[in-house]
């Protein structure tokens, strides 16, 4: 008979890992309130809104709109299929707890190797992949709705099909896709948890560090370095002021 004390190390490690991830997303939300384009997600949301307005105001862009939405739907469908396969693989893994639970903990310095704990870990991993599948499936559903809406000319559109309303629906589809990708990322620490609690902590810290570099959009200083043209050595003050103006 196992007790809670036997699982204490693993549960503490899971709680700390969840707190690290939650603190990271709290930090992102605070930064996004003052600067909506601080993260790449904010930049993507802005791009989607401008794209929808451009498409609905230019009837000649209908073919490009369909091709773009088709590519988006194909990507979401592929990820949903991948999540479904991972769900099946995780269910298969849950039936082998007695055979591999101890061998997978060979490198673990501390932590229980009880079959009950192994099942709990696999259930968390299964739940993560189910969330990913649902998010990608919802992304496909919402994008299929937008395919018809985005080709409606703005001047003929009902107020519920205005560019702003259509952009909100496309933004929801993009958010669901992002949630699915986050679920895939969070699966990495959960997989390492199968090997022991300390692997969970280390992988969670590594994931947050990686996401910190991936989530941020390019800074204004970096963009200026790329965009600003070289100033000729014999340039007049007027030329320099004009170059500085258009480099911003």
For position 204, what pLDDT does the model report? 94
Greatest Cα pair distance, the chain, in angstroms, is 85
Q: Band of the pLDDT at 143, cuts 50, 70, 90?
A: very high
**Averaged pLDDT for residues 45-49:** 89
**Exposure string over 85-96, b if 16+ CB within 10 A, otherwise e:** ebbeebeebeee
Tokens of 177: 């896709």
Tokens of 39: 């993260």
DSSP 216: B
For position 219, what pLDDT does the model report? 53
Contact 13, 197 (CB under 8 A): yes
Residues in contact with 158: Cβ distance below 8 Å, sequence separation at least 6, in sequence order: none
Contact 102, 113 (CB under 8 A): yes
Q: What is the pTM of this model?
A: 0.78
Give me the chain's average pLDDT, please.
80
Domain boundaries in the chain? 4-217, 219-248
At 157 the three-state DSSP class reads coil
Assess whether pLDDT exceeds 80 at residue 166: yes
**Averaged pLDDT for residues 47-51:** 89
Higher pLDDT, 162 or 186: 186
Residue pLDDT, tens place only, 53-78: 888 888 777 788 888 889 999 999 99
Share of the chain above pLDDT 70, in %: 75
For position 106, what pLDDT does the model report? 54
Residue pLDDT, tens place only, 192-246: 988 888 889 999 999 999 999 888 886 544 444 444 444 444 444 444 444 444 3
Q: Which helix (H) or strand (E) holds 219?
A: none
d(CA 139, CA 43): 19
For position 248, what pLDDT does the model report? 41
């Amino acid at each position: 008979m196992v007790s809670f004390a036997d699982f204490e190390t693993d549960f503490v490690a899971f709680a700390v890992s969840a707190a690290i991830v939650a603190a990271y997303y709290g930090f992102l939300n605070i930064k996004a309130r003052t600067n909506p384009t601080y993260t790449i997600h904010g930049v993507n949301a802005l791009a989607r809104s401008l794209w929808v307005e451009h498409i609905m105001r230019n009837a000649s862009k209908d073919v490009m709109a369909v091709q773009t939405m088709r590519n988006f739907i194909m990507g979401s469908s592929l990820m949903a299929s991948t999540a479904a396969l991972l769900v099946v693989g995780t269910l298969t893994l849950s039936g082998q707890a007695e055979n591999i639970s101890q061998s997978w903990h060979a490198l673990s310095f501390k932590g229980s190797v009880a079959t009950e704990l192994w099942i709990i870990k696999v259930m968390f991993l299964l739940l993560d992949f189910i969330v990913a599948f649902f998010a990608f499936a919802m992304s496909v559903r919402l994008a299929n709705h937008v395919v018809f809406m985005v080709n409606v000319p703005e001047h003929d559109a009902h107020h519920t099909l205005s560019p702003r309303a259509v952009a909100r629906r496309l933004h929801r589809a993009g958010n669901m896709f992002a949630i699915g990708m986050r679920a895939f990322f969070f699966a990495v620490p959960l997989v390492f948890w199968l090997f022991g609690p300390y692997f969970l902590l280390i992988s969670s810290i590594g994931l947050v560090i990686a996401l910190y570099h991936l989530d941020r959009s390019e800074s204004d200083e970096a963009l200026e370095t790329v965009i600003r043209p070289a100033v000729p050595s014999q340039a007049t003050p007027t030329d320099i002021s004009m170059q500085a103006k258009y480099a911003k």
